[in-house]
């Protein structure tokens, strides 16, 4: 028997092959998943599921093969308004992949997903670690200063490819230094 949380709503999952399973599955607006045989309130059981790339999932054994169901996507299908068919992705507003409460989920476009990921605490921490990294780098600060001076010199004779060969890095590294994606802190 499942103890409902105040205001919690449940919806039965329906997917290819769901009728062939012995148990039925449901998700709630509070981000929970359950299985049951006849009635959710009588014989329902809360499921923890598995974690795939940080996302809570249910792994079901279907006749057509194994099926992995991402709970956040299913919860968003039932409890979050999808603005248009362009919105194909579901994001966690607080960046916590295990918080599947419907108010933390939002449908998004691919572009919105990319923008949202840049604000993630994990992404910000990664950028800070990379910016302060001192071991294992192919270039040092003085080399980067020389590269930036050469890039900004209107009378430069070397191409990006030639400069990359000179410093034993890729040509893409030169473009990333120019754009500020790499070595932004070096002036």
pLDDT in tens, 101-130: 999 999 999 999 999 998 899 888 888 887
* pLDDT in the model for residue 46: 94
Q: Is the pLDDT of residue 131 over 90?
A: no
pLDDT at 65: 66
pLDDT attached to residue 186: 83
Between CA 64 and CA 119 the distance in angstroms is 39
Task: Dump pLDDT digits (tens) for 26-73.
Answer: 999 999 999 999 989 889 999 999 999 999 999 887 766 678 899 999
pLDDT for position 28: 95
Q: What is the predicted pLDDT for the residue at 4?
A: 80
The domain ranges of the chain are 10-73, 80-127, 133-179
Tokens of 67: 């099926």
Q: What is the DSSP string of 81-129?
A: ---STT--EEEETTS-TT---GGGEEEE-HHHHHHHHHT-HHHHHHHHH
Instruction: Find residue 51's DSSP bridge partners.
Output: 56
What is the reported pLDDT for 112?
Answer: 95
The band of 168, judged by pLDDT with boundaries at 50, 70 and 90, is very high
76-102, pLDDT tens digit by residue?
999 999 999 999 999 999 999 999 999
Tokens 């059981």 map to which residue?
45
Sheet with 55-62, strands from edge to edge, namely 50-52, 55-62, 65-70
């Amino acid at each position: 028997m499942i103890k409902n949380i105040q205001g919690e709503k449940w919806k039965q999952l329906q997917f290819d092959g769901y009728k062939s399973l012995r148990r039925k599955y449901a998700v709630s607006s509070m981000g929970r998943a359950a299985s049951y045989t006849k009635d959710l309130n009588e014989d329902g059981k809360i499921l923890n599921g598995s974690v795939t790339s940080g996302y809570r999932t249910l792994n079901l054994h279907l006749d057509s093969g194994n099926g992995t169901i991402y709970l956040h996507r299913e919860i968003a299908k039932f409890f979050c308004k999808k603005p248009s068919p362009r919105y194909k992705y579901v994001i966690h507003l607080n960046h916590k992949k295990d918080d599947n409460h419907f108010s933390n989920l939002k449908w998004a476009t691919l572009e919105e997903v990319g923008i949202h990921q840049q604000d993630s605490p994990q992404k910000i921490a990664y950028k800070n670690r990379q910016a302060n990294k001192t071991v294992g780098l192919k270039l040092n600060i003085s080399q980067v200063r020389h590269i930036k001076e050469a890039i900004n010199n209107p009378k430069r004779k070397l191409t990006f490819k030639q400069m990359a060969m000179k410093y034993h890095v890729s040509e893409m590294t030169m473009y990333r230094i120019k754009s500020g994606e790499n070595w932004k802190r070096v002036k």
